Structure 1
Amino acid sequence: MVGVGARDGAPVAEVLGLIEETLRAAGLAPSRVVALATVEARAGAAGITGAAARLGVPVRGYPAAVLAGIAVPHPSATALAAVGTASVAEAAALAGGGELLVPKRRSRPVSGPARVTCAVAYRGQSEWNGPGRK
């Protein structure tokens, strides 16, 4: 499960680029991703839905209150102010349970501030190796 946090207007290229870079660094193939998870308020964001479409996976949105109740190693005051939870990427990755494999990472755009974060969690063999994902 890849948890994704994105500011308004974050482009598909930045979202997908960070996800691919993060997976590559962890030695994981993009085909192992079962879904992108995020806060409900961002679940329809073009950058996230576009990245999910390119990866061929669904987007799962969780209410901010649910994400706020999940303990994470890297909470953010910025995320709390923006969407009502101190973690989006890590908490969304962990929302269905599991183990955090890759803690929150930030994108590094050529210009301007980072607009995307992602984290990777492992939720168990049955979900990890879902249909067409072995």
Structure 2
Amino acid sequence: MRGALHIGVGGCRGVSRDEVVSLVERTIEEAGAGGAAIAALATIDVKADEPGLRAAARRLGVPLTAYGPGALAAQPVPHPSDAARAAVGVASVAEAAALLSAGPGAVLLVGKRKSARATCAIACTV
């Protein structure tokens, strides 16, 4: 494993903590990164007050970092989303937030994964 994991998350209003945590844990396992340290959950600023996302960050023992739409829109991503664009006005929340959180030189370890009401992606530094 390269560096700590930065998990980008998005979710519909009312998404539960358990759904977010389950998706994050499944995605980490899929990446073969079980046991790796998680540095942060990251999302778009309009979702930063979402109780399920805040509770998921607490459950995972990490901060919930939020980025404005301008920063997310400026971050190139491999899987832009029409759904994200329609919901919050940017082409990506999970992938862009993960990459921004990880910082310069970050790579996307796992692209966007979905559950019924949430998305997540994982980035880390090289």
For 2:47 and 2:125, locate their aligned partners in 1 and report how far apart those are by CA, in whole Å: 22
Name 1:101's counterpart in structure 2.
109
- The Cα RMSD (Å) is 1.2
CA deviation vs aligned residue, 1:68-116 (integer Å, no higher than 9, x gap):
1111111111111111111000000011230000000001xxxxxx210
For these two proteins, the number of residue pairs brought into alignment is 118
The structure that is strand-richer by fraction is 2
- The equivalent position to 1:90 in structure 2, one of 92, 95, 98, is 95
How do 1:61-100 residues align onto structure 2 when only pairs under 5 Å count? 61-95=66-100, 96-97=103-104, 98-100=106-108
Amino acid in the other structure paired with 2:125? R
Q: Is the 8 A contact 1:31 1:55 kept in 2?
A: no
Flag structure 2 segments of 5+ consecutive residues without an equivalent: 1-5
Give the structure with higher Rg (CA): 1
Q: TM-score, normalised by structure 2?
A: 0.89
Instruction: Select 1:119's aligned residue among 108, 118, 121.
Output: 121
Identity of aligned residues (%): 50
Q: CA offset at residue 123 of structure 1?
A: 2.3
Superposed structure 1 runs of 4+ greater than 2 Å apart: none
Unpaired runs of 5+ in structure 1?
Answer: 108-113, 125-134
Look up the SS of the partner of 1:57 in the other structure.
coil
Partners of 2:98 and 2:13 in 1: how far apart? 20
SS at match of 2:92: coil
- Residue equivalent to 2:46: 41
Using the size of structure 1 for normalisation, the TM-score is 0.84
**Which residue of structure 1 lines up, in the alignment, with residue 8 of structure 2?**
3
